[in-house]
Chains A and B, each alone.
Chain A
Amino acid sequence: MNLLTMVMQLLQGMVITTEVFVLTLLFSLPLGLVVSFGRMSKNGLLRILTKFYISVMRGTPLMLQMIVVYFAPYYVFGVKIASSYRFIAVIMAFSINYAAYFAEIYRGGIEAVAVGQYEAAKVLGYNRFQTFFKIVMPQVIKHILPAVTNETITLVKDTSLAFAISVAEMFTLAKQIAAAQTTIMPLMVAGLFYYIFNLAVAAGMEALEKKLSYYR
């Protein structure tokens, strides 16, 4: 196999990797907000439940969570697992896992907004919805951006865990090619791709941070 075919194959894997990355962010970013609301709820039971959920998600390996999600339909419900379910299982596991991390980041950001901001908004007559989306959220986003960048970069690397249930993302393919051809080259190339991916992510986040630096 020449270098070009190998790179082409890895790029196909890169498409799957990117899909896992984008879909996970798409689901976990809003889900994390919902979880953070639960975590800060006035309802004690809801607070305990979300706290427990977050601690399990953060306290057990993502790979284990993914395998559980993948095999649960079979072992719990006796449903035969279709191969198309692999990708779905990855997205589900990644989303609920990252939502827990994002929830804690949101919570920190929301709690860092000064009470005075809520009080000013209340006296001015903003309703709760306006207060949250016009006054609080923009300040939260600016505050949490560095932490979200960290998680996002971790996510790029975590996509490689999908190899554990044989989803054909880049790392899975790189490992297969490396084994078949007995060369370390595909792994090196994959590493380079992850690195470039993350450079792009970091650059994007930095641009966003810069855009929000018009105020303090």
Chain B
Amino acid sequence: MKLLEINHLKKEFDGLGVIKDISLSVEQGEVISIIGPSGSGKSTLLRCATMLENMDGGELIYHGEKAAWENEKGGCTYAPKNDLKRIRKYFGLVFQNFNLFPHYSVLKNIIDAPMSVDKISKKEAMERAEKLLAQLGLTDKKDAYPYQLSGGQQQRVSIARALALQPEILFFDEPTSALDPELTGEVLKVIKELAKEHMTMIIVTHEMQFAREVSDRIIFMEDGVIQQQGTPEEIFTAPNERVKAFIGKFVG
């Protein structure tokens, strides 16, 4: 089943096209990595998909439910507020710089949204949180505050916070780019474990080896368009000119 469908997405900033006609559909359980040079529109794509930015054209469909569609005036119309509220539950987003709530403990960061947004009981929220904390190796940190944690731990908390709402699809925008090199491993490991459990994920990353190992499909973006996409094998063994030039920079 298609969890997400993006058709002919367009996004401009100050009249400049940043996303130029991107279409993408995501099946249940798929892991997709998005790679490409900085400024190519990867974050903007995720921000449009998670409705942090309004699209300027195209349509956005979760689970067959239309969140946004193109109108006659050449812009996008969004679904009514209550529909969007429901549609938002389909996805979660993990930010490059975590964006944890600094005044909440680790535990509170994880249980607050399930309780105050999904209105589940404190008991159930706690059970979910305990499970996630154990799974992500954070049990002994549950009473700590974000400032007391390393970047890697903070990112794992933010993954737990997103998972606590039980999204069907999880987006990551460069989840390890703000981390010291020695801390990226622990976060990538967590994402790999989620992939093993068939969590549907779309990951913007510069970690080529990781993308190659974890993805079912890799998308190479440049200048607001998808230049090439395919299995890791296709991308790494038969890259087109642009992809070859990009990957070459990483291999050195």
Closest to A135 in B: B101
**24 A-B interface contacts by CB (under 8 A):** A114-B99, A116-B95, A117-B101, A119-B99, A122-B51, A123-B52, A123-B88, A123-B92, A124-B165, A125-B89, A125-B118, A125-B165, A130-B117, A134-B112, A134-B116, A139-B102, A142-B103, A215-B102, A215-B103, A215-B145, A215-B147, A216-B102, A216-B145, A216-B147
Contact present for B103 and A138 (CB under 8 Å)? yes
| A117, B113: Cα distance in complex, Å | 13
Contact present for A125 and B88 (CB under 8 Å)? yes
Q: Tell me the residues in window 106-162 of chain B with beta carbons closer than 8 Å to chain A beta carbons.
A: 112-113, 116-118, 145-147, 161-162
- Known: A119-B99, A120-B99; 20 extra A-B contacts, CB below 8 A, are A117-B101, A119-B95, A120-B100, A123-B50, A123-B52, A123-B88, A124-B117, A125-B113, A125-B118, A125-B165, A126-B116, A126-B117, A130-B116, A130-B117, A134-B112, A138-B103, A139-B103, A215-B145, A216-B102, A216-B145
Contact present for B88 and A120 (CB under 8 Å)? no
Enumerate chain B residues within 8 angstroms of A135, measured Cβ to Cβ. Answer: 101
Q: Does A75 contact B (CB under 8 A)?
A: no
Q: Tell me the residues in window 111-145 of chain A with beta carbons closer than 8 Å to chain B beta carbons.
A: 114, 116-117, 119-120, 122-126, 130, 134-135, 138-139, 142
| A124, B93: Cα distance in complex, Å | 8
Contact present for B99 and A116 (CB under 8 Å)? yes
Q: How far is the CB of A118 from chain B (nearest CB, A)?
A: 9
Closest to B96 in A: A116
Enumerate chain A residues within 8 angstroms of B228, measured Cβ to Cβ. Answer: none
Q: Does A214 contact B (CB under 8 A)?
A: yes
Q: Indicate which residue in B51, B101, B147 contacts A120 across the interface (CB closer than 8 Å).
A: B101
Enumerate chain B residues within 8 angstroms of A114, measured Cβ to Cβ. Answer: 99
Q: How far is the CB of A176 from chain B (nearest CB, A)?
A: 49
| A202, B165: Cα distance in complex, Å | 43
Q: Does B85 contact A (CB under 8 A)?
A: yes
| A10, B51: Cα distance in complex, Å | 62
Question: Which of B50, B97, B116, B118 counts the most A-chain CB atoms under 10 A from its CB?
Answer: B116
Contacts known (A123-B50, A125-B89, A215-B146); A117 close to B116, Cβ less than 8 A: no
Main secondary structure of the interface of A (DSSP, over half): helix
Closest to B101 in A: A135
| A135, B117: Cα distance in complex, Å | 13
Enumerate chain A residues within 8 angstroms of B116, measured Cβ to Cβ. Answer: 126, 130, 134
Q: Indicate which residue in B113, B146, B147 contacts A124 across the interface (CB closer than 8 Å).
A: B113
| A215, B95: Cα distance in complex, Å | 21
Enumerate chain B residues within 8 angstroms of A130, measured Cβ to Cβ. Answer: 116-117
| A135, B113: Cα distance in complex, Å | 11
Q: How far is the CB of A138 from chain B (nearest CB, A)?
A: 5
Enumerate chain A residues within 8 angstroms of B91, measured Cβ to Cβ. Answer: 123
| A175, B88: Cα distance in complex, Å | 66
Enumerate chain B residues within 8 angstroms of A216, measured Cβ to Cβ. Answer: 102, 145, 147
| A195, B177: Cα distance in complex, Å | 53
The digit string for B186-198, where 1 denotes a CB below 8 A from any CB of A, is: 0000000000000
| A120, B85: Cα distance in complex, Å | 15
| A138, B52: Cα distance in complex, Å | 23
Question: Which of B92, B103, B116 counts the most A-chain CB atoms under 10 A from its CB?
Answer: B103
Closest to A138 in B: B103
| A138, B104: Cα distance in complex, Å | 10
Question: Which of B52, B89, B100, B145 counts the most A-chain CB atoms under 10 A from its CB?
Answer: B52
| A120, B92: Cα distance in complex, Å | 10
| A216, B144: Cα distance in complex, Å | 12
Q: Which 9 pairs of residues, A with B, have the shortest CB-CB distance?
A: A116-B99, A120-B99, A125-B117, A216-B147, A124-B113, A215-B145, A123-B93, A138-B103, A215-B103
| A191, B163: Cα distance in complex, Å | 60
Contact present for A117 and B99 (CB under 8 Å)? yes
Enumerate chain B residues within 8 angstroms of A134, measured Cβ to Cβ. Answer: 112, 116
Enumerate chain A residues within 8 angstroms of B165, measured Cβ to Cβ. Answer: 124-125
Q: How far is the CB of B92 from chain A (nearest CB, A)?
A: 7
